[in-house]
Structure 1
Amino acid sequence: MFFDSWNGLLRVVVVGVCAYAALVVLLRLSGKRTLAKMNAFDLVATVALGSTLATVLLTSDVALAEGVLALALLIGAQFAVAWTSVRVGLFRRAVKSTPTLLVWQGRLRDRELREQRVSRSEVWQAVRSQGVGGLDRVAAVVLETDGSFSVIPASSAGGLDALDDVPDVPRG
């Protein structure tokens, strides 16, 4: 229960060091996008990588080569999704969400809050975290594709061209 064999411990150390090194190399080869802020697909890939690494480390039925191949497959799939979504608009819309406008010119957009399951308190917290004291001083709050909030204070709104990729922004 507490100790089976020295061979088992040695296997975890050797395979662990090798699998970790392989994971680092594969992540570096795949580029920064693999470790970017997470959307749903990034989260799935990250959890799958962690689960695969744990399986390789703790299951003697899985050879190191099989584990490294599984890690490479997951990273390759993530790379392919990111590469394709940058180049093919239809694919991008299928795999990624779009940002959602939650506050416009100091007014909460209740329908969007309900659709995105965001409470007023969460919006107010995001506004406070930016050092803004009231919604009347906010040009926009956007729920980003990674689940974070972007707050644009009215004092620094400028032309609001940063909202060009946000649907339903009133124009004019």
Structure 2
Amino acid sequence: MLIGIVRTIILYLIIVLVLRVMGKRQIGQLQPFELVIILMISELAVIPSQDSGIPLIAGLFPVIMLLLLGLAISELALKSEKARGIICGTPTILINKGQIMEDQLRKLRYNLSDLLEQLRAKNMFNIADVDYAILETNGQLSVIPKSDKRPATPHDLKLQIAGDGMPLALIMDGEIQKKNLEKSGVDIIWLEKEIKKANISNIKQVFFASIDSQQKLYIQKKNAK
């Protein structure tokens, strides 16, 4: 029993490490070959965890081979445009200048209901407002609205807007994030003063606090128990 638990924990940690090495993309962003490799790895990892008669190294060997295969294919797709087209496929235009491409829908076995559902997910409820819709190789739909249906930007209005920069979390669940505090350009004394201005006596009472590029502090107090 104990041996099985230890083997399962070891296999779990190794599989997590393997997936980390393969990258940080979500399931919906995986290429078909990446998804197949992950499914095969998960199936192969179950075998040595269930059968203690299989040496752990022997059970991990096919997992490592699949990892190396995935890395090799990824490297090949990165270096060669032709190989990338064969391995990952190419994006397909489903709507071209407002016109639905029926032949492409049939070729991909992609029905109108699927197309309308994906458009709604992109906040495009009227197909007449769509200029281009492109089905990416990972199955996601990219949508370009018609020019008169796109939201106005500061550039369109000829406005000069200062960049917001990246907000930094200074306090999380009562703990000061020291690295972010150093990057923010403020010190602990300033932070404590601002906390007191918000009628909070102790940093431990702060659930979350962040600072933006304009030195504006956002503070949320912990809920009283």
Q: TM-score surpassing 0.5?
A: yes
The 1:40/1:28 distance shift into structure 2, 3 A limit, reads closer
Pair 1:54 & 2:27 matched: no
Using the size of structure 1 for normalisation, the TM-score is 0.77
| Counterpart among 65, 71, 88 of residue 96 in structure 1 | 88
Q: Secondary structure at the match of 1:53?
A: helix
The 1:50/1:79 distance shift into structure 2, 3 A limit, reads same
Q: Secondary structure at the match of 1:152?
A: strand
Structure 1 residue 133 displacement after superposition: 2.4
Structure 1 residue 61 displacement after superposition: 3.4
Higher relative helix content: 1
Could you tell which deviates more after superposition, 62-71 or 135-144?
A: 62-71
Structure 1 residue 139 displacement after superposition: 1.3
Using the size of structure 2 for normalisation, the TM-score is 0.60
Counterpart of 2:140 in structure 1 is 148
**Residue identity matched to 1:55:** I
The 1:87/1:33 distance shift into structure 2, 3 A limit, reads farther
Matched-pair contact (CA < 8 Å) for 2:28–2:139? no
Counterpart of 1:81 in structure 2 is 73
| Counterpart among 12, 27, 32 of residue 19 in structure 2 | 27
Bigger Rg, structure 1 or 2: 2
What is the percent sequence identity of the aligned residues?
A: 25
Higher relative strand content: 2
Q: Secondary structure at the match of 1:101?
A: strand
Matched-pair contact (CA < 8 Å) for 2:88–2:137? yes
The 1:102/1:35 distance shift into structure 2, 3 A limit, reads closer
How is 1:1-172 mapped onto 2 (pairs within 5 angstroms)? Answer: 9-32=1-24, 37-154=29-146, 155-156=149-150
CA distance, structure 2, for counterparts of residue 28 and residue 127 of structure 1? 32
Structure 1 residue 37 displacement after superposition: 1.8
CA distance, structure 1, for counterparts of residue 66 and residue 50 of structure 2? 19
The 1:13/1:81 distance shift into structure 2, 3 A limit, reads same
CA distance, structure 2, for counterparts of residue 56 and residue 35 of structure 1? 25
CA distance, structure 1, for counterparts of residue 135 and residue 65 of structure 2? 31
Matched-pair contact (CA < 8 Å) for 1:107–1:135? no
Could you tell which deviates more after superposition, 97-106 or 146-155?
A: 146-155
Q: CA RMSD in A?
A: 2.2
Counterpart of 1:5 in structure 2 is none
CA distance, structure 1, for counterparts of residue 25 and residue 7 of structure 2? 27
**Residue identity matched to 2:108:** Q
**Residue identity matched to 2:134:** V
Q: Number of matched residues?
A: 149
Q: Secondary structure at the match of 1:98?
A: coil
